[in-house]
A and B are shown apart, each in its own frame.
Chain A
Amino acid sequence: MLIPTRILVPGECHGDCVFVEPFSFWGGFDPTTGCISEPSHPSFGLCLSDLILIMVSGRGSSSSSSVLAEGIRRGTAPRAIITRELDTILVIGSMVAGGLYGSCCPVRCVDASHWSSVICAKRLTLLFDTMIAINDDPT
């Protein structure tokens, strides 16, 4: 299944994905471990490194740009981020890490009409054009 996206930070990748409730990268994500660190978050402790992160948007702190960028520098950040709302704080964090280190964390936005398909996905491919492919095995 192919779904159109809006490319905010370009890049292609492929991998397992996880849908989580919004969290603030600052105060909610530990860039030394790659884990969600907010104790009251439903996915507290989940390691996001190497996963494609799907969430409606980030939230909270304006320092989240820095924490995401530091996670990308350390190699602990998610492999890619897919949101429904345009969250410029995450976009900027990824762009800066790209500019400074050449490390990439693609960020894409999906229209609300396709959101329910994306959040159920288990594996995704971010294609070079605007599309993402859902690669789940047929059940």
Chain B
Amino acid sequence: MIPIESAHIDGCLYHGQVSLDFAERLLGWGGKVAVPTTLNVSSLDRMTPSNVKLEKLDWEAAKRLMDAYETLGCKPTWTCAPYQLDARPRFGQHIGWAESNAIVFANSVLGARTNRYGDFIDICAAIAGCVPETGLHLSENRFASWLFRISVEKERWLVPELLYPLTGYLIGSQCGFAIPAIDGLPTGATEDDLKALGATAASSGSVAMFHAIGVTPEASSIDEAFSGRAPKQVVVLDDAAFQDAYTRLNTLREGDTITAVSLGTPHFSLSEFEKLLPLLHGKRRHASVEFFVSTSRSLIQQLKQTESARTLVNFGATVVVDTCTYITPILRQGRNEGAVMTNSGKWAHYAPANLGVHVALGSLQECVESAIQGKVCRC
């Protein structure tokens, strides 16, 4: 076993009686976390409870589960992007994280070390304060085996808000559990860009770590990413591949009426708010379009100290915290009625099954313009 510096718990989202039975069994045994432990999203927005339209029994169960994890000693962070909190893992630190997008971000972008832990084992790791010394905790298992080369001619695919989620979708759906390396991403890729890539790759596939050559910390060169070995598989991502991913993540066409826009999957960062706010300034959404931004309670408290809150309110935006729009009833339209635009590849991938809605994936600017027009707009 190997000690861990922190844990991040995904099991705090209510999935049925089993969620409660497990957490309360640990409580009954006197369980307490041994390391700093953050909590993933829950089913409730405890800052604006009316955002969530859960049945009373589910509401009570979700709240009981949240209370149980707090009593186990976890911090009530309620965010799927713990890497956006002040205290985040450093390069080389061993951690025990769940939540697929947080796992891939921690390994790939921060260079911290976690396996793909899931519900139940996450809190066990937090209580034990250690994990088995296997998998991605060991240097020799962190090298890439698949090489993806981006080779596109259409400028449209190089727009960051399409490039990163679509690249993520493509690598995730092809490489399974393997560690992919991506050659051809701009060296100026931001943390938000890499967050979008990783979250989509961990949804369409099981990617726990990726390397972006010249961008991520364990891949200054192809040689470093592959430890000097030849790739087992080389895949070229061309215009046709990007078009295919784009088609799969868009079930709506340009001009189709939309009922909502959802941003912030994974939770919106401060820099994403800084990009969004100027687009909203002095404008208002269409009366029949709901406009959601999901983020963490810690981040929204920073925003409240600025003019930003007023801009969001004036636009008609609803800020959702502690949870997300695709895991609990938030959208007004029920199954088979909603048509939602998002800038998140992860949201576009999961929402059709979770909510029964049609989706359009677009840039931040397209999402805002579509919310104003009430239909899918392409810029």
Interface residues of A (CB under 8 A from B): 22, 24, 26-28, 31, 37-40, 56-67, 69-70, 73-74, 85, 87-89, 92-93, 96-97, 100
Contacts and interface: CB of A to CB of B under 8 A. Distances in A.
A60 B206 contact: yes
Given A88-B118, A100-B18, A63 B13 contact: yes
B203 A66 contact: no
Contacts of B98: 62
16 contacts: A24-B203, A27-B203, A31-B15, A31-B16, A38-B352, A60-B204, A62-B99, A62-B118, A63-B10, A65-B121, A66-B11, A66-B18, A69-B120, A88-B118, A89-B118, A92-B121
Contacts of A69: 18, 22, 120
A57 B10 CA distance: 20
Nearest to B117: A62
B119 interface: yes
B16 A70 contact: yes
Contacts of B202: 60
B38 interface: no
B64 interface: no
A3 B345 CA distance: 40
Closest 7 CB pairs of A and B: A89-B118, A70-B16, A65-B118, A66-B15, A62-B118, A65-B119, A66-B119
A73 B18 contact: yes
Contacts of B103: 62
A59 B121 contact: no
B302 interface: no
Contacts of B119: 62-66, 89, 92-93
Given A39-B352, A66-B11, A85 B118 contact: no
Nearest to A84: B176
Interface of B: 10-11, 13, 15-19, 21-22, 25, 98-100, 103, 115-122, 172, 176-177, 202-206, 248, 350, 352-354
Given A61-B203, A70-B18, 20 more contacts: A26-B15, A27-B350, A40-B248, A59-B176, A59-B205, A60-B204, A61-B100, A62-B117, A63-B13, A65-B119, A66-B11, A66-B120, A70-B15, A70-B16, A73-B17, A88-B117, A89-B116, A89-B118, A93-B119, A96-B120
Contacts of A74: 16
Contacts of B203: 24, 27, 60-61
A87 B266 CA distance: 24
Contacts of B10: 62-63
A57 B353 contact: no
Nearest to B98: A62
A62 B206 CA distance: 9
B177 A57 contact: yes
Contacts of B120: 65-66, 69, 92-93, 96
A63 B98 CA distance: 8
Contacts of B248: 40
Most chain B CB atoms below 10 A, which of A56, A70, A74: A70
Given A62-B98, A62-B99, A92-B121, A28 B353 contact: yes
B206 A97 contact: no
Most chain A CB atoms below 10 A, which of B17, B98, B118, B176: B118
A61 B118 CA distance: 8
A92 B98 CA distance: 13
Most chain A CB atoms below 10 A, which of B18, B121, B122: B18
Given A60-B202, A65-B121, A85-B176, A40 B100 contact: no
B73 to A, nearest CB: 20
Most chain A CB atoms below 10 A, which of B15, B176, B177, B204: B15
Contact of B118 (A37, A57, A64): A64
B267 to A, nearest CB: 16
A88 B98 CA distance: 12
Most chain A CB atoms below 10 A, which of B11, B98, B117, B353: B353
Contacts of B177: 57, 85
A70 B16 CA distance: 6
B42 to A, nearest CB: 12
A63 B176 contact: no
A28 B206 CA distance: 14
Nearest to A64: B118
A37 B353 contact: yes
B176 A57 contact: yes
A55 B78 CA distance: 33
A31 B203 CA distance: 19
B323 to A, nearest CB: 13
A88 B117 CA distance: 8
A87 B18 CA distance: 20
